[in-house]
Amino acid sequence: MAEAAMKKPEAAEAQDLTDGFHLIIDALKLNGLTTIYGVPGIPITDFGRMAQAEGIRVLSFRHEQNAGYAAAIAGFLTKKPGICLTVSAPGFLNGLTALAHATTNCFPMILISGSSEREIVDLQQGDYEEMDQLAIAKPLCKAAYRILHAQDIGIGVARAIRAAVSGRPGGVYLDLPAKLFGQVMDAEKGRRSLVKVIDAAPAQIPAPASVKRALDVLKSAKKPLIILGKGAAYAQADDAIKTFVEKSGVPFLPMSMAKGLLPDTHEQCASAARSFVLPEADVVVLLGARLNWLLSQGKGKTWGAASAKAWGRQKFVQVDISPTEADSNVRIDAPVVGDLGSCVAALLKEIGPSFPKPPAEWLAAVAERKAKNVAKMAETLAKNPSPMSFQSALAVVRDIVRANPDAMLVNEGANALDFTRSIVDMAKPRRRIDVGTWGIMGIGMGYCVAAAVVTGQQVIAIEGDSAFGFSGMETETICRYGLPVCIVVMNNNGVYRGDEKNASGGADPSPLVFVKDARYEKMMEAFGGVGVHVRTPDELRRAMEEAIRTRRPTLVNAVIDEGGGTESGRITNLNPTAAKKA
Ligand SMILES: Cc1ncc(C[n+]2csc(CCOP(=O)(O)OP(=O)(O)O)c2C)c(N)n1
Ligand SMILES: [Mg+2]
């Protein structure tokens, strides 16, 4: 009954009219976009209600940034744009970080924001939540559009979808002024104005000559290496990628969100020998991985060069959807431009059964280094110190993830991130989602909600205590929707570590430390979820097993040695230091 009342105004029904509200809903549904992540308010409150009434899943968050991160990662997981819905000015701005994050990470997302009266905003006459949102969004996304008239909704939504998913995916901004929602038009004309987007992300086939060149370069290698990036994970070409890597016999390194494309336990996986294979390799095949800071821009000591800006001696094959990615940092000897799936299919077709395997000495050297590092790590993992170390806690998480290979793993923090990435093996593609290109804190709870909603799987979130704080209020959202999320807060009392002192000797704590022994688990209890405080690996194991068995929203507050972390985790070297001599 309430549904019918919300559907359409009586009068409009009688005259067979439709309105902006319903045209937007119909346009989204027509294109299979059936989940919205957002925060309600003027001018989109009714829109959210009506969308829910019309069968769209509308997930309300406590802060737009978290809704935006949810939309962004939903885009990564589904190859359809994730939809975030925000109110004007402040809500829009809160969502904007996530839109920029989506663009930087090449995730398809559409930020739909209500906006205030154009004529008042443009004359700067002080409207409610006045802001020229389109202009502000533009530099932070792949494309930005505004729809002024109901008859343009079909085309506007279609353009937004195409821009988000075609070519290199990214964030798109769609500005919907308040007046648009209420506009009416003939229902039949409205229906005909809608556009079902055909082939939104068309295959982009690589040039045959580029494929041949790439394989020639690879064939010439004495010490080849394949690096899998999250572009390879995004492509959902898992079988082809696995076959290519296995047929080539080349050791591979997964970037963190590409972990699981091939299992981390695969014999060709060189993760445990990363610092050996990067400087030693002579030919590197980049599959959907960019040579950004995460790979030291392809140069410097990481790659065996003499100094920070110098190039190593590697030759690079780069497979990427964007033609301008090649030569962005160092020379690319064989660029292969196309969508990852088509490129790998083309490489596979050409590779043939007689393709030479990498020299045995190289494989043996990688295997030897790997074995040494794995043995060293096993020693650390076997220890059982009190309080727990990151490693002794994560040894438990590793076992739990191994036993639940379909579970989604969300991960953020500094030490909490770096240790998890290296200790917790992934067995399947797109199960690990993390801070991405920016090393951004705050993605945690938004990612948890989207991961649970999109996959229906158990979600395990390994969170630094600082990282968790950025989105912790969404524990209410997780409880409200009853999502199977188990959050483990690696509680070391602060950012990087919890034992730092105020150098002035004053009463304020160091900028890096928090309230000692904070009881984060009570946040989950406050909303009806399960909170557990654990001090030992056994307690942690029991709490996680119980969370997974019951699928109840759970927060495990894991007490970790406050002196066990290092500044910025693995990227201490990126902190600026003064050049002056001591
Ligand atoms: C949005 C954002 N703000 C700030 C930072 C800087 N930063 C990097 S890691 C981090 C928190 C690290 O502490 P925690 O999450 O507790 O991890 P730990 O190293 O203690 O395990 C912060 C604030 C960031 N990366 N992103
Ligand atoms: Mg911490």
Task: State the distance from the centre of ligand 1 to the C-alpha of 441, rounded, in angstroms.
Answer: 6
The mean per-residue pLDDT over the stretch 399-416 comes to 98
Specify the pLDDT at position 2.
Answer: 47
Which helix (H) or strand (E) segment holds residue 420: the answer is helix 415-423
Residue closest by Cα to atom 5 of ligand 1: 441
Rounded average pLDDT over 432-440: 98
pLDDT band, very low/low/confident/very high, at 282 (cuts 50, 70, 90): very high
Q: How far is the CA of 493 from the centre of ligand 2 (A)?
A: 6
Cα distance between residue 237 and residue 250, in whole Å: 18
Give the whole-angstrom CA distance, residue 358 versus residue 348. 16
5: pLDDT strictly greater than 70 = no
- CB of residue 436 inside a 6 A radius of ligand 1: no
The pLDDT tens digits of the residues spanning 184-228 come to: 999 999 999 999 999 999 999 999 999 999 999 999 999 999 999
Residue nearest to atom 3 of ligand 1 (CA): 441
Cβ(286) – ligand 1 distance below 6 Å: no
Ligand 1 lined by 440 (C-beta under 6 Å): yes
pLDDT interval class at 6 (50, 70, 90): low
Q: How far apart are CA 241 and CA 412, in angstroms?
A: 27
> Residue 105 pLDDT > 70, yes or no?
yes
The residues, any chain, with a CB within 8 Å of residue 260's CB and separated by 6 or more, are 233, 254, 426, 427, 428, 429, 430, 431, 432
Portion of the chain with pLDDT greater than 70, in percent:
97
416 lines ligand 1 (CB under 6 A): yes
- How far apart CA 234 and CA 225 sit, in angstroms, is 21
Q: Which atom of ligand 1 is nearest to the CA of 560?
A: 21
CA 195 from centroid of its chain's CA atoms: 29
Cβ–ligand 1 contact at 435 (below 6 Å):
no
* pLDDT, tens digit, 9 for 90 and up, residues 38-69: 999 999 999 999 999 999 999 999 999 999 99
Give 541: exposed, middle or buried? Use CB within 10 Å, 0-12, 13-18, 19+: middle
Q: Ligand 2 centroid to 505 CA: how many Å?
A: 22
- Supply the pLDDT for residue 14: 62
Confidence category of residue 7, pLDDT binned at 50, 70, 90 = low
**∠ CA 154-157-160, rounded to 5°:** 145
Determine how β-strand 334-337 pairs with β-strand 57-60.
Answer: unpaired
Tell me, what amino acid is at 140? L
Q: Rounded to the nearest 5 degrees, what angle is found at the Cα of 47, between the Cα atoms of 44 and 52?
A: 130
CA 321 to ligand 2 center in whole angstroms: 37
Q: Are 320 and 290 in contact (CB under 8 A)?
A: yes
The residue ranking higher by pLDDT, 4 or 556, is 556
Q: Which ligand is nearest to the CA of 472?
A: 1
The response to whether residue 467 sits with its C-beta less than 6 Å from ligand 1 reads yes
443 Cα–ligand 1 center, Å: 11
Residue 529 pLDDT: 98
Please tell me if the CB atom of residue 448 comes closer than 6 angstroms to any atom of ligand 1: no
pLDDT in tens, 339-352: 999 999 999 999 98
Name the residue among 279, 242, 229 with its Cα closest to residue 106. Answer: 229
pLDDT for 4 beyond 70: no
| CA-490 nearest atom, ligand 1 | 21
Q: Is the pLDDT of residue 573 over 70?
A: yes
The answer to whether the Cα torsion of 22, 24, 30, 36 is positive or negative is negative
Q: What pLDDT is stored for residue 581 in this prediction?
A: 63
Q: Does ligand 1 come within 6 angstroms of the Cβ of 170?
A: no
Q: Helices 340-351 and 238-248 sit at what angle, rounded to 10 degrees?
A: 40
Strand order in the sheet with 171-177: 57-60, 35-38, 82-86, 109-115, 171-177, 143-146
| Residue 27, ligand 1, Cβ within 6 A | no
Q: How far apart (Å, rounded) are the C-alpha atoms in residues 448 and 73?
A: 10
Instruction: Specify the pLDDT at position 8.
Output: 53
Ligand 1 in reach of 417 Cβ (< 6 A): no
- Compute, in angstroms, the gap from residue 486 CA to the centroid of ligand 2: 18
What is residue 396's predicted lDDT score, i.e. its pLDDT?
Answer: 98
Band of pLDDT at residue 378, cut at 50, 70 and 90: very high
Q: How far is the CA of 387 from the centre of ligand 2 (A)?
A: 14
Determine the Cα–Cα distance for residues 73 and 79; give it in Å rounded to an integer. 10
